[in-house]
């Protein structure tokens, strides 16, 4: 039997405040699912069938236009939920969810989710909180894209990728980038050349060190200062 109580990311998920008895009920409804790098959990426009709690790895959410152009919306870290639109009665997924690297998720079917809401008030409250957080993050991202400089945008993204599991940003924190420079640029609305130049500038200033996708936060306070426009 799955042991949610021993899960390493439970305290960062919607299951954090559930009692042992409540967890036993949830365990009966969750299905562990391994997804390979590049594998899709669902596609944009697909009929909504359930949601996923990320257990390990990361999931990229992106939206595509009719002409095939894509826009990365965000990267979902362990403990977070993919497919919150499952809260709606009738809906299609508004974006595609794709694994970045091999990942493990816990799947909760829509019908089981509805059943769970009728018997577990704590989980219902946690889902609403998660949905509120997602809306707040969307507002913050709109503000970021519309008002911040390229340096501030890149610094903010590096911090969010490093602290995706509710960690505090500290010196020496490893940042194993799961996004290419082109994907980072696309996500921030800047050119790839600009993203590369900004990251190189951060290295020259001693804010980060490393090569390629393997970076280390050298000066956490300095990186935070960049986000604040200093």
80-109 tens-digit pLDDT: 999 987 677 678 898 999 999 899 999 998
> For residues 155 and 23, what is the distance between their CA atoms, to the nearest angstrom?
38
pLDDT greater at residue 158 or residue 89: 158
Domain ranges of the chain: 4-144, 149-227
Name the CATH superfamily for 4-144. Jelly Rolls (2.60.120.10)
> For residues 113 and 141, what is the distance between their CA atoms, to the nearest angstrom?
29
Average pLDDT over residues 200-221: 91
Is CATH 1.10.10.10 what the domain over 149-227 is classified as, yes or no?
Answer: yes
pLDDT of residue 1: 44
- Which 3-state string (H, E, C) describes the chain? CCCHHHCCCHHHCCCCCCCHHHHHHHHCCCEEEEECCCCEEECCCCECCEEEEEEEEEEEEEEECCCCCEEEEEEECCCCEECHHHHCCCCECCCEEEEEEEEEEEEEEHHHHHHHHHHCHHHHHHHHHHHHHHHHHHHHHHHHHHHCCHHHHHHHHHHHHHCCCCCCCCCCCEEECCCCHHHHHHHHCCCHHHHHHHHHHHHHCCCEEEECCEEEECCHHHHHHHHCCC
Instruction: Provide the whole-model pTM.
Output: 0.81
* Location of structure tokens 């911040």: 148
């Amino acid at each position: 039997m799955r042991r949610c109580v021993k899960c390493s990311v439970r305290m960062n998920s919607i299951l954090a405040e559930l009692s042992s008895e409540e967890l036993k009920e949830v365990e009966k409804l969750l299905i562990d699912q391994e997804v390979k790098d590049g594998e899709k959990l669902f596609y944009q426009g697909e009929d909504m069938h359930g949601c996923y709690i990320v257990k390990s790895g990361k999931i990229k959410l992106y939206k595509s236009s009719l002409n095939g152009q894509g826009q990365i919306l965000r990267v979902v870290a362990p403990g977070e939920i993919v497919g919150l639109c499952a809260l709606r009665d009738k809906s299609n997924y508004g974006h595609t969810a794709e694994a970045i690297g091999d990942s493990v998720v816990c799947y909760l079917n829509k019908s089981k989710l509805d059943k769970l809401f009728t018997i577990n008030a704590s989980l219902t409250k946690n889902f609403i909180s998660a949905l509120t957080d997602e809306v707040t993050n969307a507002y913050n991202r709109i503000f970021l894209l519309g008002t911040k400089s390229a340096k501030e945008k890149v610094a903010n993204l590096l911090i969010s990728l490093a602290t995706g599991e509710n960690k505090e940003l500290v010196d020496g924190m490893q940042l194993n980038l799961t996004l290419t420079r082109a994907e980072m640029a696309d996500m921030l609305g800047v050119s790839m050349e600009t993203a590369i130049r900004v990251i190189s500038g951060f290295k020259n200033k001693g804010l980060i060190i490393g090569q390629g996708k393997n970076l280390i936060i050298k000066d956490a306070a300095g990186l935070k200062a960049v986000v604040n426009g200093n």
